[in-house]
Amino acid sequence: MALRPRTKKLIGAIVIVIWLPVYALLAMALAVRVLPHAHVVVQFIYYAVIGMAWILPIGLMLPWMSREEPSRSRAIPPDVSGT
């Protein structure tokens, strides 16, 4: 069964609302454990990479959300009422 575009967008919106805070908390927890004594350049690279990495899963999901399934053309049955 193919999902309607509206359903896909609802699922995608829910996933985004859950994904972003979880990702931010994980990135922050990792930074607090690893980066306190790291060199400034390492910190910059970490925040630059982590700051853009959240978009990868969402970027893969957005085309799926907006893609419409090809409609199957159904033959219109002939009028059998005799009128």
pLDDT, tens digit only, all 83 positions of the chain: 688 888 999 999 999 999 999 999 999 999 999 999 999 999 999 999 999 999 999 999 989 888 877 665 555 566 666 66
> Does any domain span residue 74?
no
> Does any domain span residue 26?
yes
> Does any domain span residue 79?
no
Q: Look up the domain containing 59 and give its range.
A: 5-65
> Does any domain span residue 37?
yes
> Does any domain span residue 81?
no
Which residue has 């607090």 as its token pair?
Answer: 32
> Does any domain span residue 70?
no
Residue 15 near residue 61, CB atoms below 8 Å: yes
pTM: 0.70
> Does any domain span residue 76?
no
- Measure the CA–CA gap between 38 and 68, rounded to whole angstroms: 47
> Does any domain span residue 11?
yes
- Measure the CA–CA gap between 83 and 79, rounded to whole angstroms: 8
Tally of structural domains, the chain = 1
